């Protein structure tokens, strides 16, 4: 299974990628929504996308998921966050 991990924190992305690789997944990492969209537009089609919700810049993870849903309607996206607002 090919998985795209999108996170602006390299250390977090590496931990997620490592766990997925231990499960036998082929993992690509992109550091934000736009690099992920560019990678997809170049023809890459992962089986799953896991994205952080909160990322700096004009697009966040929810925006990314919406655009993926529009352009790749059958692409599963899992949104995650380590941010907790109390």
Q: Is the pLDDT of residue 86 over 60?
A: no
Segment 4-29 mean pLDDT: 97
The mean pLDDT of 59-82, rounded to a whole number, is 96
Sheet holding 77-80, edge to edge: 26-30, 2-6, 48-52, 77-80
Per the document, the length of the chain is 86
Tens-place pLDDT, residues 20-67: 999 999 999 999 999 999 999 999 999 999 999 999 999 999 999 999
Is a pLDDT exceeding 80 seen at residue 73? yes
Q: What is the pTM assigned to this prediction? A: 0.93
**What is the pLDDT at residue 82?**
80
């Amino acid at each position: 299974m090919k998985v795209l991990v999108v996170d602006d924190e390299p250390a977090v992305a590496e931990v997620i990628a490592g766990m997925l690789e231990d499960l036998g997944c082929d993992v690509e990492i992109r550091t934000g929504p736009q690099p992920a969209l560019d990678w997809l537009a170049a023809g890459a089609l992962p089986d799953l996308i896991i994205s952080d919700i909160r990322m700096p810049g004009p697009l966040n993870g929810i925006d990314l998921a919406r655009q993926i849903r529009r352009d790749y309607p059958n692409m599963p996206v899992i949104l995650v966050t380590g941010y907790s607002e109390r």
